[in-house]
Amino acid sequence: MRRTRQRVLVVFKAGPTWGSGPPEDQPGWEAHGDFVDALIAAGTFVMGGPFSDYSGSVNLLEGVTAEEAEALLQDDPFVQNGVFVVDSIRDWTVYVDELSATKESA
């Protein structure tokens, strides 16, 4: 078995200002994108995206605890403007991660 890695799994529900359609059609998309890009550059945002039915979204964060992630996400423009409502933030100990294993061996 591979080494473990601590991550945080964040689940969002569609908030009151989420209109129909994909995230890029929602108010504040550009600011949200800038926020996510900064987390990617910092090595915190590992992966994320909406559910196929646009009922919410999931993010995978690294290098933060659940408590730190909760504080960090308060600055997300989609959270601030009600596009996203945080449903759950959970510390997650990853035992199997074939995506990172593939990336690290490349």
How many domains are contained in the chain? 1
Model confidence, pTM:
0.86
Asked if 48 contacts 56 with a C-beta cutoff of 8 angstroms, the reply is no
The pLDDT assigned to 103 comes to 60
Asked if 58 contacts 11 with a C-beta cutoff of 8 angstroms, the reply is yes
Distance CA 28, CA 39 (A): 17
Is the pLDDT at 4 greater than 80? The verdict is no
Instruction: List the CATH number of the domain containing 58.
Output: 3.30.70.1060
Domain that holds residue 68: 5-105
70-100 pLDDT, tens digit each: 999 999 999 999 999 999 999 998 888 888 7
Distance CA 29, CA 42 (A): 20
Residues facing residue 56 across a β-bridge: 13
8-61 pLDDT, tens digit each: 999 999 999 999 899 999 999 999 999 999 999 999 999 999 999 999 999 999
